Amino acid sequence: MSAIIGDTNGFKPLSALRKAAKHPAVEEIEGGGMDDGRVFLHLRDGFAFSGEGKSIGVSDAQDVKDALASIEAIG
């Protein structure tokens, strides 16, 4: 099940967003209210980014890769 990709807010490496959308923990990707070129990754219930909560802002492909690597299942 792929996540919803909403407003990409000028984020350039769209392939990184498509990869993130395929991750089973990612619920939504959207850039509303963010600086140009940045988006939020929002996680489904039961998951969190290590030390960051259920949402994290990213601005490039490396940020996306790091964010996906930091996803943890939570109680």
Record the pTM: 0.93
Condensed to tens digits (0 to 9), the pLDDT of residues 33-52 reads 999 999 999 999 999 999 78
Domain that holds residue 34: 4-73
**35: helix, strand or coil:** coil
| Structural Rg of the chain based on CA atoms | 11
Write down the residue that tokens 């619920």 correspond to: 27
Mean pLDDT to the nearest integer, 54-59 = 97
Domain count across the chain: 1
**28: helix, strand or coil:** strand
Q: What is the pLDDT of residue 30?
A: 97
